[in-house]
Structure 1
């Protein structure tokens, strides 16, 4: 009798479920790496950011790869915060509030954002205002990043965090052997059930995150034409 049979004598399907969960996590992480790099490319190209692109550490653990994404997201949040701070300092309070007012026409907000970003950077791309409104003046990306960071941290410290990415797909016995290095047999089933719950949340948050970035990237690549609504009052 092999290791997996000892752990799951009455539930062969559970063995396949564990393999599937690992593969789902890997697939989801790969998509988040790509989406994060796309967001970094947008910020670097349009907002004057200098964030380093990220790459999966093939020989690393799940936790190490979670930490790579978390650090990149923290860098992104820092850039967003800095630009928002500068916009608030340079714009009149009423104009700044308009950027966050959901009742204001989006094209007007884009025009305001583009003008002030041009002042902040000295020169801005045609898409800078669109990026600012969609990324900085919207709570969607910020809230999604915050949720993803929390979920990645949870996965990183879970029983699966110490498993190497290279283990995925190599077989259930190898995976379970890696897990048993961290927990006792009687804790394993509860850990897997908890992991299933984390993965469901992680996939949902990742989908929202990736969709938002795809939308922003499409607007940038399409070089959306901006309508400029006169001069924007700034603090002297």
Structure 2
């Protein structure tokens, strides 16, 4: 038992809570790596991209892993911007505006993209058109993905950023040494508040991100039937 536990008998419970929250954060990070790789696979197959998959660095810090996801997402956004620019160039202005109109039916948008997607990619399937419609100029790229990047950057810049991903295996006291160097009531409470704050934002952003990617993959499957 740490010396501070005699002064603050609730500290062991607080350690357990930080341990639990840390694991939740790791689970969210792991899920985001998986979802990003799923999207990378779809883009590589259907839009002719050459994006690299990413792997969680178990020996790195929270910040380093957040940065890995951010870098991958930025790469995805750049590829989608290229497709968007090509569609804008090839389509009539009125047709391009329809792609940006959330009131337009998805089937109509896919039909519009199909007219020019083969010119852009050289050879393309209906699934490629569906992917382009789902991702280019939609709230997936302008809102959902951007929100996740913002939250990841905030986590990396917080006191959690310097904590190692594999710190749980080294013993829970390592987490607190990584944060402030001593285990006291106020420091444990600060750690818990930081985890809770960022987890709420991260869970919300990542759930929307995962749902958006699931919608893309489901649409692709329907187009390939």
- Aligned match of 1:203: 203
Gaps of 5+ in 1: 226-236
215-224 or 97-106: bigger deviation: 215-224
Structure with bigger helix share is 2
Contact 1:67–1:153 (8 Å) recurs in 2: yes
Structure 1 residue 82, shift from structure 2 partner = 1.1
Structure 1 residue 44, shift from structure 2 partner = 0.8
Contact 2:99–2:137 (8 Å) recurs in 1: yes
- Aligned match of 2:164: 164
Structure 1 residue 174, shift from structure 2 partner = 2.2
- Aligned match of 1:17: 17
How many residues in Structure 1 have an aligned counterpart in Structure 2? 225
Structure 1 residue 73, shift from structure 2 partner = 0.4
TM-score, with normalisation over the residues of structure 2?
A: 0.91
Residues 1:187 and 1:10: Cα distance change in structure 2 (over 3 Å): closer
Structure 1 residue 62, shift from structure 2 partner = 0.8
- Aligned match of 2:122: 122
- Aligned match of 2:95: 95
Residues 1:58 and 1:9: Cα distance change in structure 2 (over 3 Å): same
Alignment of 1:25-174 (within 5 A): 25-174=25-174
CA distances 1:69-96 after superposition (whole Å, capped 9, x unpaired): 0000000111111111111111111010
Contact 1:3–1:173 (8 Å) recurs in 2: no
Distance, in Å, in 2 between the alignment partners of 1:170 and 1:159 is: 19
Structure 1 residue 164, shift from structure 2 partner = 1.2
TM-score, with normalisation over the residues of structure 1?
A: 0.87
Structure 1 residue 118, shift from structure 2 partner = 1.1
Contact 2:14–2:189 (8 Å) recurs in 1: no
